[in-house]
Amino acid sequence: MNSNTEKRIALISVHGDPAIEIGKEEAGGQNVYVREVGKALAQLGWQVDMFSRRVSPEQELVVHHSPLCRTIRLTAGPEEFVPRDNGFKYLPDFVKQLLQFQQENNITYPIVHTNYWLSSWVGMQLKEIQGSKQVHTYHSLGAVKYKAVDTIPLIATKRLSVEKQVLETAERIVATSPQEQQHMRSLVSTKGYIDVVPCGTDIQRFGSIARQAARAELGIDQDAKVVLYVGRFDPRKGIETVVRAVNESELRNSGKLKLIIGGGSTPGNSDGRERDRIEGIVQELGMSDIVSFPGRLNQDILPSYYAAADVCVVPSHYEPFGLVAIESMSSGTPVVASDVGGLQFTVISEKTGLLAPPKDVAAFKTAIDRILLNPEWRDELGLAARRHTTEKFSWDGVAVQLDGIYNQLLTQQVKEAALISK
């Protein structure tokens, strides 16, 4: 094999740095996805380079995750945090830096797997300039998002047109759920090739500790009734719904009910503002004694939080996939989730948890109480949730499916090259 056909791949995630701390503003599922896919692909023999934009002069330029997998940070635009809606203007520079990196290291990526629409634009340039095959995962679709927000950003028109273009031109689009695939078809374009490959989770890590031990570690009473939220502070995550639902719970005055809201935030930034708003509601409802905010939960402590909970709530207004739901299920904890998007695919209502209409406080209250008031059923749901996740959503399984797609594209490329040389 020459250097263009070996198993070498670039995962491009301009704004979602796979090596950064997860759980704060704009660092969530996409960062985890890219990092875990990269590591799992390396296990299958791929040489994986993950490209992201450097956002601080203190950040290392290269982070090694394993011998074949590294994150490379390119300097494109200011070395500071830039909200993703303002990131488009730095992309030409990002492409330039990536091409320069290839030149300096004497490599060309035969395949680029791009993440989110900003990176899809970078991928389309690489395809045009050097014939790289492009695989793309959206992580979020503008066409869905803009239906649900009050103010549409200036960049919307650009985003929608780039999202359509990549669907129609990439060699392969990866939808993470059949629901996302359907949205692409009904809202973006009927052209293009879509495969459904779900997101995954670390089934060893999430499921490594039992409830009793986890509660002892976190200092939670063994007979407490624990409701957990994990995720970013963003109004679209629907944290208000779970707060109000827990306030209505039949166990509200039992002295046992506890709501943990885990996730990081920076005062003054948009996630800090949402956290203040949620804390305001907690105070207004007189819930301060039963609600705790442990801040950003790192990967080492997260499994204990999931395991300690009786139920994990994912009240998002919309969710293309929702990693938190499968992390919780992998930990043996049932999920009460909004009946939307990827959550309809991962959570089997009445088997691994319950689904409720988004923003519907009464429905969330009923679902949470059904689980809290019936510990035996809770355990049954938890066991089924663990089984379901290990069967369907391990990163290794996800990587095998992606490996299949990339191999097809490489074989196709070799055939194309042979035809040209004839």
Candidate segments 71-79, 228-236, 267-275, 371-379, binder of ligand UDP by CB under 6 A = 228-236
Candidate segments 143-151, 251-259, 281-289, 323-331, binder of ligand UDP by CB under 6 A = 323-331
Determine, following the binding rule CB under 6 A, whether residue 246 of this chain makes contact with ligand UDP. no
Q: How would you class 260 by CB atoms within 10 Å of its CB: exposed for 0-12, middle for 13-18, buried for 19 or more?
A: buried
Name 381's Cβ contacts closer than 8 Å, sequence gap at least 6.
334, 351, 352, 353, 371
With contacts defined by CB under 6 A, how many residues of the chain interact with ligand UDP?
20
Per-residue tokens: 415:
């055939």
Identify the CA nearest to 172 among candidates 132, 125, 136, 131. Answer: 136
C-alpha 387/C-alpha 83 separation (Å) is 38
Per-residue tokens: 132:
């790289």
C-alpha 213/C-alpha 217 separation (Å) is 6
Task: Please report how the helices 361-372 and 375-392 are oriented relative to each other, as an axis angle in degrees rounded to 10.
Answer: 100
Determine, following the binding rule CB under 6 A, whether residue 23 of this chain makes contact with ligand UDP. yes
Name the residue nearer to ligand UDP (CB basis): 31 or 125: 31
Determine, following the binding rule CB under 6 A, whether residue 303 of this chain makes contact with ligand UDP. no
Name which position in 232, 244, 317, 365 contacts ligand UDP (CB under 6 A).
232
Name the residue nearer to ligand UDP (CB basis): 36 or 310: 36
Determine, following the binding rule CB under 6 A, whether residue 324 of this chain makes contact with ligand UDP. yes
Determine, following the binding rule CB under 6 A, whether residue 322 of this chain makes contact with ligand UDP. yes
Name 326's Cβ contacts closer than 8 Å, sequence gap at least 6.
199, 200, 201, 346, 389, 393
Determine, following the binding rule CB under 6 A, whether residue 17 of this chain makes contact with ligand UDP. no
Determine, following the binding rule CB under 6 A, whether residue 327 of this chain makes contact with ligand UDP. yes
Determine, following the binding rule CB under 6 A, whether residue 18 of this chain makes contact with ligand UDP. no
Name the residue nearer to ligand UDP (CB basis): 31 or 249: 31
Name the residue nearer to ligand UDP (CB basis): 46 or 395: 395
Candidate segments 101-109, 249-257, 319-327, 399-407, binder of ligand UDP by CB under 6 A = 319-327
Helix (H) or strand (E) holding 257: strand 257-262
C-alpha 323/C-alpha 371 separation (Å) is 21
Determine, following the binding rule CB under 6 A, whether residue 341 of this chain makes contact with ligand UDP. no
Candidate segments 110-118, 260-268, 272-280, 380-388, binder of ligand UDP by CB under 6 A = 260-268
C-alpha 209/C-alpha 334 separation (Å) is 15
Q: How would you class 89 by CB atoms within 10 Å of its CB: exposed for 0-12, middle for 13-18, buried for 19 or more?
A: exposed
Name the residue nearer to ligand UDP (CB basis): 201 or 247: 201
Candidate segments 27-35, 51-59, 280-288, 355-363, binder of ligand UDP by CB under 6 A = 27-35
Q: How far is the CB of 237 from ligand UDP (least distance, A)?
A: 7
Give me the half-sphere count of Cα atoms (radius 13 Å) on the Cβ side of residue 203.
17
C-alpha 224/C-alpha 22 separation (Å) is 28
Name the residue nearer to ligand UDP (CB basis): 16 or 77: 16
Q: How far is the CB of 191 from ligand UDP (least distance, A)?
A: 27
Determine, following the binding rule CB under 6 A, whether residue 32 of this chain makes contact with ligand UDP. yes
Helix (H) or strand (E) holding 312: strand 311-314
Task: Report DSSP letters for 263-277, one per residue.
Answer: ----TTSHHHHHHHH
Name the residue nearer to ligand UDP (CB basis): 11 or 124: 11
List binders of ligand UDP among 344-373 (CB under 6 A).
none
Name which position in 238, 262, 315, 382 contacts ligand UDP (CB under 6 A).
262
Contact yes or no for 79/40 (Cβ under 8 A):
no
Q: How far is the CB of 372 from ligand UDP (least distance, A)?
A: 22
Interface residues with ligand UDP (CB under 6 A)? 22-23, 28-30, 32, 230-232, 262-264, 296-297, 302, 321-324, 327
